């Protein structure tokens, strides 16, 4: 779980830097590059969450949480793939962030 949280925190840092370093002149190309990087990072988070959901060492309740999280990440990836609107992408990432904050980090307590 610590590995997932570390990758998630890195994803948030990367996301923030990607969206603040955009250049207006090559907006379309830059937007596509940003989407590709986001999807790559989200895919890593998805695969790790899926692995936890299938792990024999994780309790059933934890497996359910990880399975739901992996489904939520897959939804976010799908949203990013379907849209070219940067605002929608940012909103999808923000929704994922809210989901993680309310469902994953509370497990640590």
d(CA 69, CA 32): 25
The pLDDT value recorded for residue 18 is 72
Rounded to 10 degrees, the C-alpha dihedral 5/52/34/93 comes to -70
Tracing tokens 């830059």 back to the chain, one arrives at: 30
Kindly report, residue by residue over 76-101, the tens digit of the pLDDT: 999 999 988 888 988 999 999 999 99
d(CA 39, CA 31): 12
Residue range 8-31: average pLDDT? 70
pTM assigned to the model: 0.82
The pLDDT value recorded for residue 86 is 82
C-beta separation of 70 from 46 below 8 A: yes
Kindly report, residue by residue over 21-78, the tens digit of the pLDDT: 555 545 555 778 888 999 999 999 999 999 999 999 989 999 999 999 999 999 999 9
Tell me which residue of 97, 32, 26, 106 sits closest to 65, measured CA to CA.
106
b/e sequence 31-40, b meaning 16+ C-beta within 10 Å: eeebbeebbe
Integer-rounded Cα radius of gyration of the chain: 15
């Amino acid at each position: 779980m610590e590995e997932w949280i570390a990758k998630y925190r890195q994803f948030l840092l990367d996301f923030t830097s990607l969206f603040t370093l955009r250049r207006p002149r090559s907006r379309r190309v830059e937007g596509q590059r940003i989407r590709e990087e986001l999807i790559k990072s989200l895919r890593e988070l998805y695969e790790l969450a899926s692995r936890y959901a299938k792990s024999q060492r994780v309790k059933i309740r934890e497996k359910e949480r990880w399975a739901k999280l992996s489904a939520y990440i897959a939804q976010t990836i799908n949203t990013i793939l379907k849209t070219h609107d940067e605002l929608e992408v940012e909103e999808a990432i923000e929704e994922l962030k809210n989901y993680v904050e309310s469902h994953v980090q509370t497990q640590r307590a």
